[in-house]
Chains A and B, each alone.
Chain A
Amino acid sequence: MTLEAGAELAPKTYPVTRASLVRYAGASGDFNPIHWSDRIATAVGLPGVIAHGMFTMALVARAVSEWTDGAEVVDFGAKFTNPVVVPDDDEGTTVTVSGTVKSVEDGLATIALTVVSGDQKVLGMPKVSVRV
């Protein structure tokens, strides 16, 4: 696909359940118990089990790959500003990724992202550059 500066990329919404977190923990090797134990999450002052920041970032990478048909990622970064709290029920929560192409120059497209769970932004200044 052609990426042009100013293009709005169609938002992508992905479900996040406790099962997603368990599966991601196994695949990534991140077994921090704040991502699977309410007891430990609340003991360290969190509202409950939260998604791995890197799981949210992986969903962002998925959106970028879907928008760009698997373009090579050159730079990718984000701050984890608000936790994605994942309730222990069948629905869980969702993460929605939207993006705007900020620039296309020197063979690189830079995409500014907005990543929300519920009504809250969960990533600060998420940005990705892909080769075009």
Chain B
Amino acid sequence: MAVDGSLVGRAFPPTRPYRVTDEKVREFAAATGVGWESGDPVPATFPIVLAFDAMNAFLDDVQVELSRIVHGEQKFSYARPIAPGDVLTATLSVASLRQIGGNDIIGTVSEITDDTGAVVCTTSATLVHRAAEVA
């Protein structure tokens, strides 16, 4: 099923506020082989935890199965470093949509804001929604 073209420009509801903790950052860093200690910089790709949450809600909403999604591209632009104690929310919007070879190429932008409403990180993703039948 192709994704509906009218989604372009639509913003999805913000994710519930997420509190960044030392324990979660340590777990994330350890998963990439990094021994993280309190006060160390938070790994650069940590905001994906928020962005992925927003993407899951988006895929549920448009009834796309996660297993049919392959990641095409990801970009992060950071307004400031994330730190434990931050309470963050991601808001995803659909920036572009095109079809190539029966696959949907979905461009999303997720803005990650703190509890003052300030943008902490903007991250864009290209999601390839693979066609159900292999040609």
Contacts and interface: CB of A to CB of B under 8 A. Distances in A.
Interface stretch (A2-10, A24-32, A99-107, A112-120): A24-32
A29 B75 contact: no
Chain B, interface size category, equals: 20 to 34
Given A32-B66, A73-B78, A78 B73 contact: yes
A52 B48 CA distance: 12
Residue of A30, A58, A75 with most chain B CB atoms under a 10 A cut-off: A58
Contacts of A52: 71
Contacts of B33: 14, 59, 62
B52 A29 contact: yes
A94 to B, nearest CB: 12
B32 interface: yes
A11 interface: no
Consensus secondary structure, chain B interface:
mixed
Contacts of A128: 44
Contacts of B48: 28, 30, 54
21 contacts: A14-B33, A26-B27, A27-B27, A27-B30, A30-B48, A32-B69, A45-B130, A59-B32, A59-B33, A61-B43, A62-B34, A64-B44, A65-B43, A72-B81, A73-B44, A73-B78, A76-B44, A77-B74, A79-B126, A80-B73, A83-B70
Interface of A: 14, 20, 23-24, 26-34, 40, 43-46, 52-55, 57-59, 61-62, 64-65, 70, 72-80, 83, 124, 128
Given A33-B67, A46-B70, A54-B71, 10 more contacts: A26-B31, A28-B31, A29-B52, A34-B67, A44-B67, A59-B33, A64-B44, A73-B76, A74-B78, A80-B74
